[in-house]
Amino acid sequence: MRDLFSRLAWRGSMLGTAMLLAACGGGEAESDDAVAAMPASALSASENRQALATERPQAATAQESGSDAVMSFDPQPWELEEDEATSQAFLTSLQPSRQAAEAASWTRVKWNPGHYVALSRRGEAALHEALREIKHLPHVKGLLLRYGWRQLEPRKGEYQFATIDRDLALARSYGKQLFIMVETKAFKAGVRAVPDYMHTAEYSGGAYKIRINAKSTLGSPKTYGENAALHNPKVRDRLIALTTALGRRYNYNNNFEGITFNETAMGQMLQPLSKRQTTDFFTHLAQVNKATKRAFPNTVVMQFINFPQPYMAGLVSNMLSSSVGLGGPDTFLNDHDLNRLTYPFYDKARGKVPIGPSVQPENYFARSHNGPHAPPRVQELHAFAQNRLHANYLFWSKTLIQPLVPYRSVLRMFNSEAFPRGHTGGLNADCPASFGTCVRKL
């Protein structure tokens, strides 16, 4: 896997050191601005990447924080290869759902497009702070928060939604919306992507291991992250059961704006899936997307996409026919692979389904996956999402990495007289054609 800070070509600089150390932030009692002194040479290239995704020892528990709050997968070489035969076969296998399209034509959908703040720190104090900062900004509609599958379903069929209930109540008390991400991937060593009951042969182990170049945390030379074994139909069925339960509880809640899933990139697998398993993985993901929209007919449902290339055309076609929105884990201004393979799908989705790119920590510091370190202005990121990606929603990571501390620039932009005064902050507010009627509240 390409190392983030090798890509950015600034590993030895003091700026890079400060960024890396502050990126470990996330503890409830810690300040994100506190940075210890350590020479850049003290961190290896692989540890640099991991530092951006690892929280301090005082970090909130798994019940309080998502596992991939500041990280996304680098595309693997095979994910960038164009395979027309596989692409066409997969596209053909996913027949559009006429029934879903007809049902959507008369459905009222909660629609509060605009800017949302994505948090990695998840304690109640951190949520209050973030909500106070945006309370008087009508174009900043609310928060995007992440919830691990294992957190939401600690035992088979037993769902724990208390944290969502708390966060939703907090957002409502500030007059804001909540957008949630259901995480089916774990980017940190030792963190599990799926509930414990799935770690059996019946579920193909529940997950497959992904290399994250992490330090050993479990007494072994190497540790790994995980991605749900969605190629197993029983894993698919359990994920559908989860989103169905979520839909029953939150579809009609006016402050529950939307639900999305992790990016599609599969990571550097310890044991690669076969081509048949990979096809099954994305066939099942398409079925999860469709089933989740059935469970949330009056709520925005979104899938973050990027790679692998052979499966994206079919997956996006299924999303468009199922009224499932298109999001993404990164807003890179000059990334060759994204501009060539991924961003054109935003054009296909424009006006048809909701579009919601996100600005992650890496995007504040570089203009492409390959670097170099050349921080764009936050106004450039906003303009790119608005004009190139046709965003209805834009999710901004609350990144406080020193010395740039980009989220402060985001807040200054939001409060600037030059920022668009409309209720979406310059983003597209048009109701998607696949929806019946868009309403602020049901």
Amino acid 121: pLDDT: 72
Distance CA 328, CA 331 (A): 8
Which pLDDT score is estimated for 85? 86
The least confident of 131-145, 161-175, 233-247, 359-373 is: 359-373
Q: What is the pLDDT of residue 268?
A: 87
Neighbouring CB atoms inside 10 A of 418's CB total 7
Which pLDDT score is estimated for 39?
Answer: 29
Asked whether residue 20 is assigned to any structural domain, the reply reads no
What are the angstrom distances between the C-alpha of 414 and each of 178, 326, 389, 426? Answer: 19, 24, 19, 11
pLDDT of amino acid 58: 29
Highest mean pLDDT of the ranges 49-58, 76-85, 283-292: 283-292
Please report where in the chains the tokens 């989860």 appear, as a residue: 242
What CA–CA distance (Å, rounded) separates 20 from 37? 11
Nearest to 346 by CA among 362, 325, 366: 325
In a domain, 40, yes or no: no
Contact of 264 with 283, CB cutoff 8 Å:
no
Instruction: Give the strand pairing for 177-183 and 256-261.
Output: parallel
β-strand 355-359 against 437-439: which pairing, if any?
unpaired
What's the domain count of the chain?
1
Classify residue 268: in a domain, yes or no. yes
What is the pLDDT at residue 212?
78
**Are the C-beta atoms of residues 342 and 332 closer than 8 Å to each other?**
no
Each residue of 167-184: pLDDT tens digit?
999 999 999 999 999 999
Strands lying side by side in the sheet with 207-214: 185-186, 223-228, 207-214
Tens digits of residue pLDDT in 320-336: 999 999 999 999 999 99
The predicted model gives 406-422 an average pLDDT of 95
344 pLDDT more than 60: yes
Residue with tokens 């089933």: 291
Of 219 and 38, the structure prediction assigns the larger pLDDT to 219
The three-state (H, E, C) secondary structure of 54-82, written as one string: CCCCCECCCCCCCCCCCCCCCCCHHHHCC
- Is residue 213 pLDDT above 70, yes or no? no
Question: For residue 253, which of 325, 178, 322, 355 has the smallest C-alpha distance?
Answer: 178
pLDDT, one tens digit per residue, over 56-105 is 222 333 333 333 344 567 788 877 888 888 888 888 888 776 665 565 66
Confidence tier at 299 by pLDDT (50, 70, 90): very high
In the numeric block, the tokens 């008390």 are attached to 173
Beta-bridge mates of residue 328:
357
Q: Is the pLDDT of residue 422 over 80?
A: yes
Chain mean pLDDT for the chain: 83
Most confident of 32-46, 160-174, 188-202: 160-174
Q: Is residue 49 part of a domain?
A: no
**What pLDDT does 91 receive?**
85
Residue 187 lies in a domain: yes
Cβ contact 388:355 at 8 Å: no
Domain interval for residue 179: 61-439
Amino acid at the residue 340: R
**Between the ranges 43-52, 155-164, 267-276, where is the mean pLDDT highest?**
155-164
Cα of 203 vs its chain's centroid, Å: 24
Tokens of residue 342, six digits: 């991924």
pTM listed for this prediction? 0.84
Between residues 44 and 280, the one the model is more confident about: 280
Contact 328, 358 (CB under 8 A): yes
Q: What is the mean pLDDT of residues 38-60?
A: 31
Question: What confidence score (pLDDT) does residue 53 get?
Answer: 35
- 349 has a pLDDT exceeding 80: yes
As to burial, measured by CB atoms within 10 angstroms (0-12 exposed, 13-18 middle, 19+ buried), residue 329 is buried
In a domain, 23, yes or no: no
Q: Which residues pair with 148 in a beta bridge?
A: 183
Ranges 23-32, 59-68, 243-252, most confident: 243-252
Q: Which residue has the tokens 């290869």?
A: 81
Between 39 and 383, the higher pLDDT residue: 383
**pLDDT of 308:** 95
Residue 23: pLDDT above 70? no
φ, ψ at 187 (rounded to 5°): -95, 0
Give the per-residue pLDDT at 103.
59
In a domain, 76, yes or no: yes
Q: Tokens 């030895």 belong to which residue? A: 12
Higher pLDDT, 75 or 262: 262
User: Domain containing 336 — which CATH number?
Assistant: 3.20.20.80
DSSP 408: H
Q: What is the pLDDT of residue 19?
A: 36
Crossing angle of helices 275-295/84-93, nearest 10°? 40
In which band, very low, low, confident or very high, does the pLDDT at 114 lie, cut at 50, 70 and 90? very high
Q: What residues form DSSP beta bridges with 227?
A: 185, 208
> CB-based contacts of 36: which residues, under 8 Å, 6+ apart?
21
Please check whether residue 22 lies inside any domain of the structure.
no
Higher pLDDT residue, 393 or 25? 393
Planar angle of CA 373, 363, 65, nearest 5 degrees: 125
What is residue 101's predicted lDDT score, i.e. its pLDDT? 58
